[in-house]
Amino acid sequence: MATKLKVLVPAIKEKSGKVVKAPSKAYSHDELKKMAGKAAKGAKHEFELSNGRIVTRKVAAKVAEKAEEVPKSVGKKLHSHDLRRAEGIKKKKM
């Protein structure tokens, strides 16, 4: 039996193609951008899935809804705060 695909953590993809993943769901995309510094300028907000794939906010929203990680009211694009709110996780302050 296959395990259900889930959203693991927020990630950003820099213009160079480098992916920076958050250590946990407690981090927001903005914190990741601060950690990456100047290289993160213009970086795309993405998410890592349980299968290791890095996907867009749109794909992540569909996966999170299907896995019942977030309510259907999240909308078309997943935000890092949607995961934290759904799981009762406090935002990591930097």
Q: Which domain holds residue 21?
A: 7-87
pLDDT by 10-residue block (mean), the chain, 94 residues: 86 94 93 89 95 96 92 86 85 69
Please indicate, yes or no, if residue 2 is contained in any of the structural domains.
no
So what's the pLDDT on residue 2? 63
Using alpha carbons only, give the angle 46, 39, 78 rounded to the nearest 5 degrees: 15
Please indicate, yes or no, if residue 1 is contained in any of the structural domains.
no
Q: How many domains does the chain have?
A: 1
Please indicate, yes or no, if residue 92 is contained in any of the structural domains.
no
- List the structure tokens of 82: 């949607």
Block residue for tokens 């009211």 = 73
Please indicate, yes or no, if residue 78 is contained in any of the structural domains.
yes
| Predicted TM-score (pTM) of this structure | 0.89
